[in-house]
């Protein structure tokens, strides 16, 4: 099967279990490696779950129900996912673009900020604070986090 440069968009209308999503993404990127699947952007929401990235410290979180925690291989610290929070899993082959992780993250930040601007939400970056922020009443609030895992130059979570 020949893969063209089109990117597939998948939108899940129902909540997607986090563990199920990881299995599906893993299967999809394995197919991408074999050139049997297109790149994909997957828009979804999860049931309530806390994910711990590679920089997460146990002391930073006081979660009593350990069943709600997943230790994942993406960058970053603690992130809550749950109903009402849109997650976008981006499965792109950076070998088809540039093998530049910093540029990829910067492009993601710009994409998120441009998207928010469409909804008249003025989002900004804050030096030293990861993620995308908005300012309200002279205080900054995080509106978006970025957690990415890259395997063989294919991005996912």
* Predicted local confidence at residue 2, as pLDDT: 43
Three-class SS of the chain: CCCCCCEEEEECCCCECHHHHHHHHHHHHHHHHCCCCCEEEEEECECCEEEECCCCCHHHCCCCCHHHEEECCCCCCEEEECCCCCEEEEECEHHHCCCCHHHHHHHHHHHHHHHHHHCCCCEEEECCEEEEEEEECCEEEEEECCCCEEECCEEEC
- This prediction has a pTM of 0.85
Residue 57 to residue 78: CA distance in whole angstroms: 8
* Predicted local confidence at residue 144, as pLDDT: 93
* Predicted local confidence at residue 1, as pLDDT: 34
**C-beta separation of 13 from 43 below 8 A:** no
* Predicted local confidence at residue 108, as pLDDT: 94
**C-beta separation of 40 from 8 below 8 A:** yes
Alpha helix (H) ranges present in the chain? 18-33, 101-118
* Predicted local confidence at residue 42, as pLDDT: 97
Residues of the chain whose pLDDT is less than 50?
1-3
* Predicted local confidence at residue 70, as pLDDT: 86
* Predicted local confidence at residue 64, as pLDDT: 67
């Amino acid at each position: 099967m020949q893969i063209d440069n089109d990117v597939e968009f998948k939108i899940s209308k129902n909540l997607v279990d986090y563990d199920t999503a990881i299995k599906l993404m893993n299967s999809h990127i394995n197919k991408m490696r074999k050139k049997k699947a297109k790149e994909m952007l997957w828009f979804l929401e999860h049931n309530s779950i806390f994910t711990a990235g590679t920089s997460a410290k146990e002391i930073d979180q006081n979660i009593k129900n350990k069943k709600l925690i997943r230790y994942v291989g993406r960058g970053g610290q603690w992130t809550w996912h749950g109903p009402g929070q849109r997650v976008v899993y981006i499965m792109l082959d950076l070998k088809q673009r540039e093998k530049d992780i910093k540029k990829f993250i910067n492009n993601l930040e710009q994409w998120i900020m441009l998207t928010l601007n469409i909804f008249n939400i003025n989002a900004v970056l804050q030096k030293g604070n990861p993620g995308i922020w908005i300012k309200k009443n002279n205080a900054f609030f995080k509106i978006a986090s970025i957690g990415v895992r890259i395997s063989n130059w294919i991005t996912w979570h």
